[in-house]
Amino acid sequence: MHPSIKILDVFIGNICNLACQFCDTRSDTFRKGEYDTSLENVKESIDLAVKYFKIEHFSLLGGEPLLYKQKIIEILKHIRSFDKDTPINIATNGMLLSKNIDFIANIIEEYSVCIMVSDHVSKFKDKTKSNQILASVHELGKVLGYKQKDPIDWYNDYHDFKNKKQDPLFQAWLEKKQWQGRPGDEEDSIYYGDGNRGVVYVVYDWFYQNYYLDENNKPKPFNSHSADDSFINGCCSEFCSFLYDKKLYKCGALGTLKRFLTHHNVADDPEWQKYLAYKPVDLTNCTPQEVQRFSDTKHTCIKECTMCPATSSYQMIKTEEKVLPILRNVQAN
């Protein structure tokens, strides 16, 4: 099969207004854009990715994208300059949605994008923030003039969970996962849209851990017994490839690992060396064999997947102290 990627997560930066523990792009740890790359670097990275792979979906990923509004516009312009049709989604936590209704409505219409709103605060005791996010989603739908439709139908079509493309690798994942094509909190999901344009709201009140903390509060890999079990049961990025600085990673957790461990002064920990040895596809000098290998393993485990847990029991419930930056900083100190 021609090398392809289902969802290309284009990393735009770490600046975020939340600090969700176990964030796989490490926006709970890096908060000032220390590892952000330039706009030109992002565009060149995209160009290289589409040179080697058929991209089924683009995703602009932070951090919080609404803290990068001008950068988003320029990236959207760039993608649409050579690709008018491939779906683009922008993942936001929705906390800034109410102040950016017109901005978001404009980019949805002008660049044909889908805004994916993940409500990280629905489990908070105080429901004010969650209720505001939900109200903003309804307001955005009204401004756009889109009808509210079944989010399950959108979810299945968007991710091709019926495998209309007849990708045998994805079919194998569907069968192993015993996937029903339904988001976990489908009863709370909302969708306003028209084709690839619109806004989707999903309750995202838990997160898979991609490490654990030892008795000294230092991050440790799970070193699970089975890479396959980790990929099927404990992975938060099962079909999202991570693009950063002209390199392509299996997931965001691997793509951000080195700087995360360096920050915690554990980069020399023997238990992490297996995962630090992971080599991304360097798009500036990759071989056809490396490209094909990456494509062939996009829906399967690799040995580094044992970094994550082999069971789905390691789920962090997103309470205030695990999400809000001030409380997270107090807790860390």
In a domain, 270, yes or no: no
Are 254 and 275 in contact by the 8 Å Cβ rule? The answer is yes
Average pLDDT over the chain, rounded to whole?
92
∠ CA 44-50-53, nearest 5°, is: 140
| Residue type present at position 289 | Q
Q: In this predicted model, which residue has the larger pLDDT, 55 or 186?
A: 55
In a domain, 174, yes or no: no
Note the pLDDT tens digit of each residue in 245-304: 999 999 999 999 999 999 999 999 999 999 999 999 999 999 999 999 999 999 999 999
Q: Which domain holds residue 106?
A: 4-164+182-209+238-253+282-301+312-332
In a domain, 233, yes or no: no
In a domain, 267, yes or no: no
pTM above 0.85, yes or no: yes
Sort 81 into a burial class: Cβ within 10 Å, 0-12 / 13-18 / 19+: exposed
In a domain, 306, yes or no: no
- Which range scores top for mean pLDDT: 63-77, 164-178, 207-221? 63-77
In a domain, 271, yes or no: no
In a domain, 189, yes or no: yes
| Residue type present at position 57 | H
In a domain, 221, yes or no: no
Total domains, the chain: 1
Are 80 and 314 in contact by the 8 Å Cβ rule? The answer is no
Note the pLDDT tens digit of each residue in 77-103: 999 999 999 999 999 999 999 999 999
Quote the pLDDT of residue 161. Answer: 85
Quote the pLDDT of residue 333. Answer: 37
CA 91 – CA 297 distance, rounded (Å): 24
- Tokens (6 digits) for 304: 């580094």
Note the pLDDT tens digit of each residue in 187-225: 688 999 998 899 999 998 888 899 999 999 999 999 999
Note the pLDDT tens digit of each residue in 111-128: 999 999 999 999 899 999
Whichever domain contains 99, its CATH number is 3.20.20
